[in-house]
Structure 1
Amino acid sequence: MDSVKIDELDRLVIGALLAQPRATHAVIGQAVRSSEATVSRRLARLRRAGAVRVVGAIDSQISHRARSVFVRLRCAPGAADELALPLAQWDETGSVKVLTGSVDCVAEIAYTSNEHLYRLMMHELPRFDGVMATFSNQVIRRFSTPHGWNPGLLPDTVVAELRAERRDRWSEHPEPDEAAPLSELDEHLVAVLIDDGRISWQDLAARCGVTPSTARRRTETLMAQGVLRMRTVVEPEVLGLTVNAFVWLTINPTKIGLAGEILARHRSVVMIAATTGDRNLCGEIAVASDSALYEFLSETVGHLPGLIHADVAVALRTVKRAGMIDPDLRTTAGSRSGS
């Protein structure tokens, strides 16, 4: 990502996009009390610099296409940085981060079957040099995800108004017993929106060979079903939240739901999910400073009902987020391989 400095208006524009990723420039302008033209210029600059992007995503659990597992890796000294990029190049990884703490790397991996996961965990991961131990936590219930992250950049009333205009689901719902089938057109629409979540209905229709009204109707149907979700992707550091950390908690099983809901409502929580394995509640947080991290741990995590154990690891580098590898790291890897 190119170096970019943002001011308060930029932060407000990003806040509006987080609340409603497909909001028009006019709607964003109204939310941040600025003109449509100014919002257009600001957003174009932010997107050009790589500070923010909007993507569509198939909800793997709602669509029953895949399941998710968090894999934590403990590595030999110096090995985490070398294996993070090859791991990020897997199609199955949605995010990869290098950490400091009890583990050195964490990845969110999507798998389609137990056999698929078996191959990844038992055959592919062991091929990496320097992996000393692996821990896996399968996601079984999501309480919040980045699709609905609200870091508090805008007043709650404004966020609520913007969210009311969304056709996709920003909050979490239990997955249905049966998945809605996707047609060939649906697949094409989704593929385009995954690449550019703010593409106009006219351009989307042209790419897919249908009328704008058909493109919009089919896309909004997929959104209403929860199959297609929109997400504004921004590194917390861009917003001044310079401490990005992961928490792995052990909660009394009778209190997991209550603890998850409490964390899901907290502004510092980017995502939180109930999991299997050695920890049963896992999440990502973003705060402005070490003192803010201390306050979150002591005042929020420390008072969670049923808390038995808490483990925290601070992210040193984001290698991949929302399915995209950091362009600077891709360039670095390419120059190394060509030397």
Structure 2
Amino acid sequence: MDDALERRIVGALLAHPRASISQIAQAVFTSEATASRRVAALTAAGTVRVTASLDAEATRRSRSVFVRLRCRPGQGSRTAERLAEWPECGSVKVLTGSVDCIAEVRYTSPAHLLAITRDRLPALDDVLAVWSNQVIRRFSTPHRWMPQLLPADAVERLRACRIDWWNDRVPATAAVLDHLDHQIAALLTEDGRATWQRLGQQCGVSPITVRRRTEAMMQSGALRMRTVVEPEAVDLPVDAFISLNVNPTHLSRAGELLAAHPSVLMIAATTGDRNLCGEVALESDAGLYTFISETVGNLPGLQLADVAVALRSLKRAGRTVTEPPDATRTESRGRPSVPRPDGSIALSV
């Protein structure tokens, strides 16, 4: 990120993805002309992307599973690239640690999940082992991620203007959406800051109709807005995936504590060999050490913690991440497996 003003503007968009230029300018203490120019430059460069998504809980459309793969030495990137081509994969990363790559995969039915885990994943070349962890509760999602880019009072003011559910409330009933609703959601997925006028033209209805439908979906929790930015772009170059085992009696409390930490992009309760999984972004290795030793290490009921640092993000929020021109691809190589007796903490960093 080039300067402090751009960082503040990104913070404003994270707090309120569809904030007006006037609201952004006020939050970051600049003119509307400057705010407009900077927002346009950030989005045109692909540094920032505003998108929408239909909430899986509200619409009962799909569920998610984290898939961790161990690959043959030197083949982590190749496998991750193939995974990134799958439309079901919302995010894909190459890691270093106990596994070589990880993906969050959406599925629509048990049969769909069975086909993915039993047939498609094992069929990938060079995959040695697969672990899957189904998401059963989200304590924090990227929709609420708020690194320390803006003062807390500015964040609160912007969030107070939002209609969509930026926090992690779960709708009590399923939303009923028609063709127009799905059409609007699809357009906002591509451009979350599209104007009502433009959306109306693309849908063949009036801007008032589009706005009414969109706000109804937002108010019901069916449609959530999100600003997507790679953590490295806001000076948080250490991106890591954490997978924990916590005593079930402390699972909710541990999830809530992690969700409140500004370094946590998302954290969810899961099934399988780990019952708490998530992503964190920090400013340095020293920051990661502090997070592991003080935040993770002090979680109630912690039994095991595995931390794998991301070497490369291939896909985020359903779209391929553009790799910087000077980026180099570093692979995690073969490593011996380490026995983990019950109660131990295995940290792979």
Give the TM-score of the pair, scaled to structure 2.
0.91
Contact 2:241 2:307 in 1 (8 A): yes
Runs (5+) with no aligned partner, structure 1: 330-339
Q: Does residue 78 of structure 1 match 2:74?
A: yes
Paired residue for 1:280?
275
1:230 is paired with a residue whose SS is strand
Matches of residues 1-339 of structure 1 in structure 2 within 5 Å?
5-176=1-172, 178-328=173-323
> C-alpha separation between the residues in 2 aligned to 1:218 and 1:325?
29
RMSD between aligned alpha carbons?
Answer: 1.2
> C-alpha separation between the residues in 1 aligned to 2:170 and 2:186?
25
> C-alpha separation between the residues in 2 aligned to 1:226 and 1:186?
13
Q: CA offsets, 1:232-286, max 9 Å, x none?
A: 0000000000100010010010111001111101000000000001110001000
> C-alpha separation between the residues in 1 aligned to 2:96 and 2:57?
30
Paired residue for 1:336?
none
Question: In the TM superposition, what is the alpha-carbon distance from 1:223 to its structure 2 partner?
Answer: 0.6
> C-alpha separation between the residues in 1 aligned to 2:79 and 2:33?
44
Question: In the TM superposition, what is the alpha-carbon distance from 1:180 to its structure 2 partner?
Answer: 1.3
Question: In the TM superposition, what is the alpha-carbon distance from 1:212 to its structure 2 partner?
Answer: 1.0
Contact 2:57 2:170 in 1 (8 A): no
Q: CA offsets, 1:287-333, max 9 Å, x none?
A: 0000000000111000001111100000000000000012459xxxx
> C-alpha separation between the residues in 1 aligned to 2:31 and 2:126?
53
> C-alpha separation between the residues in 2 aligned to 1:21 and 1:306?
36
Name the aligned partner's letter for residue 318 of structure 1: S
2:56 is paired with a residue whose SS is coil
Runs (5+) with no aligned partner, structure 2: 325-349
Name the aligned partner's letter for residue 304 of structure 1: L
> C-alpha separation between the residues in 1 aligned to 2:116 and 2:57?
19
> C-alpha separation between the residues in 2 aligned to 1:323 and 1:262?
27
> C-alpha separation between the residues in 2 aligned to 1:94 and 1:180?
22
1:246 is paired with a residue whose SS is strand
Sequence identity percentage: 58
Q: CA offsets, 1:207-228, max 9 Å, x none?
A: 1111111100100000111111
Higher helix fraction: Structure 1 or Structure 2?
1
Question: In the TM superposition, what is the alpha-carbon distance from 1:25 to its structure 2 partner?
Answer: 0.8
Paired residue for 1:333?
none
Q: CA offsets, 1:115-142, max 9 Å, x none?
A: 0000011111112111000000000010
> C-alpha separation between the residues in 1 aligned to 2:108 and 2:273?
22
Figure out how many residues of one structure are paired with residues of the other and give that number.
325
Question: In the TM superposition, what is the alpha-carbon distance from 1:61 to its structure 2 partner?
Answer: 2.1
Contact 2:171 2:221 in 1 (8 A): no
1:62 is paired with a residue whose SS is helix
Name the aligned partner's letter for residue 195 of structure 1: E
Question: In the TM superposition, what is the alpha-carbon distance from 1:15 to its structure 2 partner?
Answer: 0.1
Contact 2:171 2:220 in 1 (8 A): no
Question: In the TM superposition, what is the alpha-carbon distance from 1:175 to its structure 2 partner?
Answer: 4.2
> C-alpha separation between the residues in 2 aligned to 1:55 and 1:231?
5
1:303 is paired with a residue whose SS is coil
> C-alpha separation between the residues in 1 aligned to 2:290 and 2:282?
10
